[in-house]
Amino acid sequence: MTMLSEIAEQPEVVASVVDANQQKMERVEQLAADCTHVVIAARGTSDNAARYAQYVWGAQNRLSVGLTTPSLFGPLASPPSLADALVVGISQSGQSPDLVEVLAEAGRQGRPTLAITNDVNSPMADTAEIVIDLCAREERAIAATKTYTSQLTAVALLSLAFSGGAPGKLDVLPDAIARTTGTDMIDAVSGLIDVDRCVVVGRGFHQATIYEWALKLQELTYLLSQPFSAADFRHGPVAVVEEGFPVLAVATAGPTLDEMTTLVTDMQTRNAHVVTMTDSDAPGDVIISIPEVEPWLSPIVAAPALQRFAHDLTVARGIDPETPRGLSKVTHTR
């Protein structure tokens, strides 16, 4: 039950990460003041938090945000110029040598560095100028849950810091998340128990959501799940959809809702099995309802729902979610 209990902790964790890091925000604003863009180093689930940063810092702060290629800093030993960049590392453990090396190289190039991690005594934290503490306490489940949601919250908090905004905008999150953490997905997962592949589609801020949903299904259920931007999906991959094919869609209020509603309707005309996560009245064969918040915050509220879906599908497929095969809690890559 470790994974479920850690999903349930998320309202408290989200409140903690905001409260614990508020005093650092003025320094963050100063650190980023002369930066024209952001470069992020991350892997796995943290990479999906970085995708959220791409959209949030891009849309809310008008910053160009790129995900770095850690191999350039490690095995290939050809690090690119980081001129004018704020360099950010995102890692639950802060242990992976390749990510630490990106921040170390940034320091050698004289660039400001920031770490978002759950271990403030980790090598990544030691390398960065400013450390954002995820405040998630020990996470024992192999599959990251509360640390991911805390990372998203940290990204949102930093967005407000970059623009001098008030962190009070995030006060809605603990209650909204609490309304999703206790909902079981037994009925919602029933159509995917015996399948071996699916696609996960969304757009905009929920690019992070679809990548994390697909990753959770891969690592826990062993389902070959592929994430696609709704736009990219129409450029070829849509051809895989046939009768009964499972399509997981994220369609929430905001600028992308009409496009996602059209896509879901199209999938239904092809007789696909569509599971829709929504905070509005988007269509779907199965509906996962989440509370409505501002569109840029919606991925934070969606996170516990996708985690619970993955957990319950894992159990329904006869797999123990606490012991996914071949995985360990901390991964060291170089």
Which CATH number do you get for residue 299? Answer: 3.40.50.10490
Q: Is residue 306 part of a domain?
A: yes
Give the burial class of 83: count Cβ atoms within 10 A of its Cβ; 0-12 exposed, 13-18 middle, 19 or more buried. exposed
Residue among 53, 63, 60 at smallest CA distance from 84 = 63
Identify the band that residue 328 occupies on the pLDDT scale cut at 50, 70 and 90: low
30 and 166 assigned to the same domain: yes
220 and 292 assigned to the same domain: yes
| Vertex 172: Cα angle to 171 and 175 (nearest 5) | 110
73 and 222 assigned to the same domain: no
* Cα–Cα distance for residue pair 202/205, rounded to 1 Å: 9
Q: Is residue 206 part of a domain?
A: yes
155 and 6 assigned to the same domain: yes
187 and 285 assigned to the same domain: yes
Please state the pTM of the whole predicted model. Answer: 0.95
160 and 195 assigned to the same domain: no
Evaluate if residue 123 carries a pLDDT over 70. yes
Exposure string of 239-254, with b = 16+ CB inside 10 Å and e = fewer, is eebeeebbbbbbbbbb
Query: What residues make up the domain containing 141?
Result: 2-171
Cβ–Cβ under 8 Å, residues 203 and 231: yes
Residue 325: the pLDDT is 81
Angle, helices 298-316/146-163, rounded to nearest 10 degrees: 170
Q: How many domains would you assign to the chain?
A: 2
Q: Is residue 178 part of a domain?
A: no
135 and 52 assigned to the same domain: yes
27 and 145 assigned to the same domain: yes
Q: Is residue 229 part of a domain?
A: yes
pLDDT digits (tens, 9 = 90+) for 185-228: 999 999 999 999 999 999 999 999 999 999 999 999 999 999 99
Residue among 98, 197, 181, 189 at smallest CA distance from 145 = 181
Contacts 24+ apart (CB under 8 A), 262-269: 263/201, 263/230, 263/233, 263/234, 267/241
Q: Is residue 307 part of a domain?
A: yes
30 and 120 assigned to the same domain: yes
Residue 1: the pLDDT is 63
Q: Is residue 331 part of a domain?
A: no
Q: Is residue 299 part of a domain?
A: yes
- Residue at which a domain ends, from 171, 199, 214: 171
Tally of residues, the chain? 334
pLDDT digits (tens, 9 = 90+) for 134-158: 999 999 989 999 999 999 999 999 9
288 and 153 assigned to the same domain: no
Evaluate if residue 257 carries a pLDDT over 70. yes
Q: Is residue 122 part of a domain?
A: yes
Q: What is the 3-state secondary structure (H, E, C) of the chain?
A: CHHHHHHHCHHHHHHHHHHHHHHHHHHHHHHHCCCCEEEEECCHHHHHHHHHHHHHHHHHHCCEEEECCHHHCCCCCCCCCCCCEEEEEEECCCCCHHHHHHHHHHHHCCCCEEEEECCCCCHHHHHCCEEEECCCCCCCCCCCCHHHHHHHHHHHHHHHHHHCCCHHHHHHHHHHHHHHHCCCCCCCCHHHCCCCEEEEEECHHHHHHHHHHHHHHHHHHCCEEEEEEHHHHCCCHHHHCCCCCEEEEECCCCCCHHHHHHHHHHHHHCCCEEEEEECCCCCCCEEEECCCCCHHHHHHHHHHHHHHHHHHHHHHCCCCCCCCCCCCCCCCCC
80 and 205 assigned to the same domain: no
- Residue at which a domain ends, from 136, 171, 206: 171
Which of left, alpha, beta for 328 (phi over 0: left; psi -120 to 50: alpha)?
beta
The pLDDT > 90 percentage for the chain reads: 87
Mean pLDDT of the chain: 94
147 and 25 assigned to the same domain: yes
